[in-house]
Every structure is written in C-alpha cells, then in structure tokens.
Amino acid sequence: MAKRIMVVEDNDLNRKLFCDVLKVNGHEVVPVADGQNVLSTAAKFQPDLVIMDIQLPNVSGVELIAGLKADARLAKTPILAVTAYAGKGDEERIRDAGASDYLSKPVSIGPFMAAVRSLLGE
C-alpha cells in the first residue's frame, strides 16, 4: 500500500527531485511550495510522513513542525526536517519542535530514502 508523503519545499528543483524519487519508490506525494498552505493541506491529505524544509519564505519550518504536532490528527505523523542551514544548535531546536529525523542539504538520494523508509517503518 502506497504511503502518503507531503513534501514542503519552496525550491522548485528540490521539491521536484524529492517528489520524483518518492513516486518512483511507490509513494503518493503531495508537494507544497508555500509554507502558509502546510497546515490546511496536511489536514486534508493526512500524510503518513511530512518532509519539511526549514528555511521557507513567510514562515519557519520549525513553526510549521510545532503546528503539525499541535494538531491532534497529525501529532503522530513523523516529520523529516531538511535544511541547508545547519548551524550549531539547529538540529536540537528542530528536534525539540517535533521533527523525527533531520538531514542537511545537499541531500543524497541514498540517505534520503533510508530516512524515509525508517520513518515509515519499512
């Protein structure tokens, strides 16, 4: 059974790459380019996993992770945080917000899919 994965990424190339790789691996994917649409899209789509870019325009990925975790319908959904800006203390702050795992960009496909499989329990 295909798992539903929501990909939150404002960079068009990264979003397309993540979505294409996930689709090839048999997953149903919904891309979200604008962080302001994340909570409403997640409520409708009910993803099995959320891939969350941290650096988004208008809203922080960390705030969105906290928002997803605050929604009872989405609180148990694992979140894979992906960011290019990995400074000292960032990983801890992102995990404290509720992210289940964390990858730094640029992301290689092997580690990306390993993290996805792990979070989906595959």
Q: How far apart are CA 12 and CA 107, in angstroms?
A: 15
Question: What is the per-residue pLDDT across 67-92, written as a single tens digit (0 to 9) for each?
Answer: 999 999 999 999 999 998 767 788 89
Both tokens of 64, joined, read: 């969105």
pTM: 0.95
Give the pLDDT confidence score for residue 64 in this predicted structure.
97
Give the pLDDT confidence score for residue 89 in this predicted structure.
84
CB 12 within 8 A of CB 57: no
When divided into structural domains, the chain yields a total of: 1
Q: Show the low-confidence residues of the chain (pLDDT under 70).
A: 86
- Please give the residue range of the domain that contains residue 87: 4-120
Residue 21, C-beta contacts closer than 8 angstroms, at least 6 positions apart: 109, 112, 113
CATH number for 37: 3.40.50.2300
Give the pLDDT confidence score for residue 88 in this predicted structure.
76
Give the pLDDT confidence score for residue 87 in this predicted structure.
75
